[in-house]
Amino acid sequence: MRHDLVLEIPSDPAAIQNAVDLVVRRCDGSDYCRRKLELNFRVGLTEALANAVLYGSEKDPSKRIRLEIIFLAKRIEARVTDQGPGFDPCTVPDPTTPENIERPGGRGLFLMRELMDEVHFNEIGNSVTLVLHLEPPAQLDDVASA
Amino acid sequence: MGFTVSNQGDVTVVDVDGQLIVGNRQELKQRVLDDLAGGARKFVIDFSETGYIDSSGLGVLVSLSKKIREKGGELRLSSLNEDLRTLFELTKLDTLFRIADDKAAALEGF
């Protein structure tokens, strides 16, 4: 069964947590899903929205952030789109290397990639789609007996 | 969401209540920097009442740690829950900070 949710939030850091809380509350699932929702999805979505507010819209309150959620039986897709010029995600350095670890920024995109199952940007980089799988990965025994 | 600051001997202890996120990170940063400017050199930030730290909150901790070290001091962290510890491990910040299981352990020998 499929549900959709579309939100437009102001480019205001204070709006981020309310939007994330609303989306997570709409998600149902098993204990496995709950852990992924409360950590992976919550962090990934928060970071995507924070990037949109801080860098995409540069905290300009006249700009809006569009959040589109698709709930599917085995996955959740969240698309975050800002009204900024976009950026090239390939230019963001790995924040875990010794030369970068003391830099204050760059961890948002890293956390999205680490915690979500898929992360896709549009061509200009002002829209990111996060995908979270809601089923445990298949065990080797299951694959062998399939 | 807020901060409680207290002193245990010459150690400044900051308890973070709620979340350390983009919306309140500057408040924490400024408070610690004010104490640093006032002569404090030993800091413990305790997260026993903290549900979440976002990447900008992590960035503030990195920035504060560097500034405190430049003044000859040290910042220790304590009481990270399982999710927070996962974030520190993923970002390898567990290698940058001394992280204690609880506040008492952080204060021990400081």
ipTM of the complex: 0.88
pLDDT above 70 as % of chain B: 99
Residue numbers of chain A with a pLDDT score lower than 50: 1, 146
- Other residues' Cβ atoms within 10 Å of the Cβ of residue A143: 9
- CA-CA distance, B97 to A3, in Å (whole number)? 43
The backbone torsions φ and ψ at residue B98, rounded to the nearest 5 degrees and listed phi first, read: -85, 115
Who contacts B89 (Cβ-Cβ below 8 Å, separation ≥6)?
Answer: none
pLDDT (mean) for B76-90: 96
pLDDT value at position A119? 97
CB < 8 Å from B in window 97-136 of A = 101-105, 107-108, 110-111, 114-115
Neighbouring-strand partners of residue B46: B15, B78
Minimum-distance CB partner of A13 among B22, B52, B83: B22
Distance from CA of B90 to the nearest CA of A (A): 8
pTM for the structure as a whole: 0.88
pLDDT value at position A1? 47
Cβ within 8 Å, pair B91-A54:
no
Distance from CA of B5 to the nearest CA of A (A): 23
pLDDT value at position B23? 81
Cβ within 8 Å, pair A110-B86:
no
Who contacts A9 (Cβ-Cβ below 8 Å, separation ≥6)?
Answer: A15, A16, A19, A49, A64, A65, A67
